């Protein structure tokens, strides 16, 4: 049926350094079931993507953190490392990398945990090729809105260090940022000078569909960020409120 495969990642992965494919064309498939993995890889290649394979959790973790790719298709139940471990590592080291999790019908709890940990979408097995490709295309269409990695940004009297999730001030004060606060602030900084709607923030930072959803969570996070930045809520200079439209980061200086 299928040629015998070596455990771990495929021989193709070893050729990545010589590949001329672009980041937008490369997708990592982490799936231990050889038949499912081969079907996904064949479908992606037929659609013009460059597919990279991993057959266990250990190899999947290594490739997810090292390979320059546009998206990861991640099975949850894997030998070596659970998919949620891999997802957690991706969100810590590569917070902007889109991830679609692949789950079985009986894995609803893990699926919910994966979404809360930052997965962009999920597909339940058994799934059709057309459904999978539609979800891949949808996530890739959204991904340009996500921030590219930014390490630091200057603020009046200090600096944001995204790698440490903290704000350091010249007078020695430090303010720790939660994971969500850091991701929200990073998104605002990378999109400096552009008004960002609440719907976009929900899709790109919280990774949930805002249709029909009313929530104050964005406003609460903005209020906490202003407090930690020392940005006067009554007359903010950094995180600006654009009435009826959303929020805008007010300075473009020294993002790196």
Comparing 26 with 13, the larger pLDDT belongs to 26
pLDDT tens digit string along 100-119? 999 987 778 888 888 888 88
Does residue 221 surpass a pLDDT of 70? yes
pLDDT, position 96: 75
CATH number of the domain located at residue range(s) 11-144 in this protein? 3.40.50.2300
Across all residues in the chain, what is the average pLDDT? 83
Q: How far apart are CA 198 and CA 182, in angstroms?
A: 17
Q: How many CB atoms lie within 10 A of CB 213?
A: 12
SS3 86: helix
pLDDT, position 63: 94
Q: Is 172 left (phi over 0), alpha (psi -120 to 50) or beta?
A: left
Phi and psi at 200, nearest 5°, equal -65, -40
Q: Where in the chain is the domain with CATH 1.10.10.10?
A: 152-249
pLDDT tens digit string along 27-77? 999 999 999 999 999 999 999 999 999 999 999 999 998 888 889 999 999
Q: Where in the chain is the domain with CATH 3.40.50.2300?
A: 11-144
pLDDT tens digit string along 193-207? 888 898 888 888 887
Does residue 16 surpass a pLDDT of 60? no
The pLDDT confidence band at residue 254, using thresholds 50, 70 and 90, is: very low
Which of 59-63, 142-146, 233-237 has the least mean pLDDT?
142-146
Q: How far apart are CA 64 and CA 46, in angstroms?
A: 22
Does domain 152-249 fall under CATH 3.10.20.90? My reply is no
User: b/e map of 129-139 (b: 16 or more CB within 10 Å)?
Assistant: eeebbebbeeb
pLDDT, position 115: 87
| Nearest C-alpha neighbor of 150 from the set 252, 28, 22 | 252
pTM listed for this prediction: 0.53
């Amino acid at each position: 049926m299928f040629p015998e495969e070596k455990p771990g990642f495929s021989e193709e992965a070893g050729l990545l350094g010589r590949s001329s494919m672009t980041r937008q064309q490369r997708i990592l498939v982490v799936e231990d079931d050889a038949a499912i993995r081969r079907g996904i890889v064949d479908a992606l290649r037929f659609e013009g993507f460059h597919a990279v394979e991993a057959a266990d959790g250990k190899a999947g973790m290594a490739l997810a953190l090292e390979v320059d790719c546009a998206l990861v298709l991640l099975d949850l139940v894997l030998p070596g490392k659970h998919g949620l471990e891999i997802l957690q590592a991706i969100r810590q080291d590569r917070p902007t990398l889109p991830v679609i999790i692949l789950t079985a019908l009986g894995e609803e709890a893990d699926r919910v945990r994966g979404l809360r940990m930052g997965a962009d979408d999920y597909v339940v097995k058994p799934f059709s090729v057309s459904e999978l490709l539609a979800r891949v295309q949808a996530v890739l269409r959204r991904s340009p809105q996500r921030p590219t990695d930014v390490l630091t940004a200057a603020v009046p009297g200090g600096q944001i260090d995204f790698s440490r999730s903290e704000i350091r001030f010249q007078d020695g004060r430090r303010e720790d940022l939660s994971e969500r606060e850091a991701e929200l602030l990073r998104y605002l900084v990378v999109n400096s000078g552009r008004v960002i709607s609440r719907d976009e923030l929900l899709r790109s930072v919280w990774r949930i569909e805002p249709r029909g959803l009313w929530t104050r969570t964005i406003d609460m996070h903005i209020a906490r960020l202003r407090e930690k930045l020392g940005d006067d809520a009554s007359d903010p200079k950094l995180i600006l409120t654009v009435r009826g439209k959303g929020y805008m980061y007010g300075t473009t200086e020294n993002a790196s």
